[in-house]
A and B are shown apart, each in its own frame.
Chain A
Amino acid sequence: DTGVSQDPRHKITKRGQNVTFRCDPISEHNRLYWYRQTLGQGPEFLTYFQNEAQLEKSRLLSDRFSAERPKGSFSTLEIQRTEQGDSAMYLCASSLARGNTEAFFGQGTRLTVV
């Protein structure tokens, strides 16, 4: 399977705990994006990387959120001290930084904070 893969698919955590999600992009893609989708809404941009550099962070990404992409390959998204409002689907996408190229999405990680 050469698509974008995310792990885990589902995560249930207690409020206040830390969680970390992983995304493995399509291997030749140099851009990697994180989005968050809540019920009834479209995905909302959180942050993106070009290679290992994090180039933009949305104001949605509070201080409790941090993302990394060491070596420009896989990426992790960590949420510290989770809150119930963090419950959402976290989507990762990757693309090539050239022309009008579409982003390919993973299947997402559904986070439930109880």
Chain B
Amino acid sequence: DQQVKQNSPSLSVQEGRISILNCDYTNSMFDYFLWYKKYPAEGPTFLISISSIKDKNEDGRFTVFLNKSAKHLSLHIVPSQPGDSAVYFCAAVKKSSGDKLTFGTGTRLAVRP
């Protein structure tokens, strides 16, 4: 049972434009959500998180939006840069489960110069 889903395996965006990565979840008991970025042959790197009681969190070029009624979150990157090209994973956490991460399958972002 895939509790966290990223339905777009890949996304290509022009440098300077906005990248929007989407994530859906099925479990309404998740307490917070995170986005991780992963380069080949490296471990995931934390980008940004959002509590389930918020609907937006912003950090520099990265903004995460949460729509609890739709069980949907999105990561906006603006402006996109070639160095943003990587695989992005959405993850969800239930605090009662030891804060373990439930990951989506990832979206590969390619930012074209």
Contacts and interface: CB of A to CB of B under 8 A. Distances in A.
Interface stretch (B11-19, B43-51, B59-67, B71-79): B43-51
Interface residues of B, number: 27
Interface of A: 4, 6, 31, 33, 35, 40-45, 48, 50, 55-56, 91, 93, 95, 97, 100-108, 110
A100 B51 contact: yes
Interface string B96-111: 0111111111100000
Contact of B45 (A40, A55, A56, A105): A105
B105 A41 contact: yes
Given A41-B105, A43-B89, A91-B44, A102 B100 contact: no
Given A40-B105, A42-B105, A42-B106, A33 B43 contact: no
Contacts of A56: 97-98, 100
A41 to B, nearest CB: 6
B103 A102 contact: no
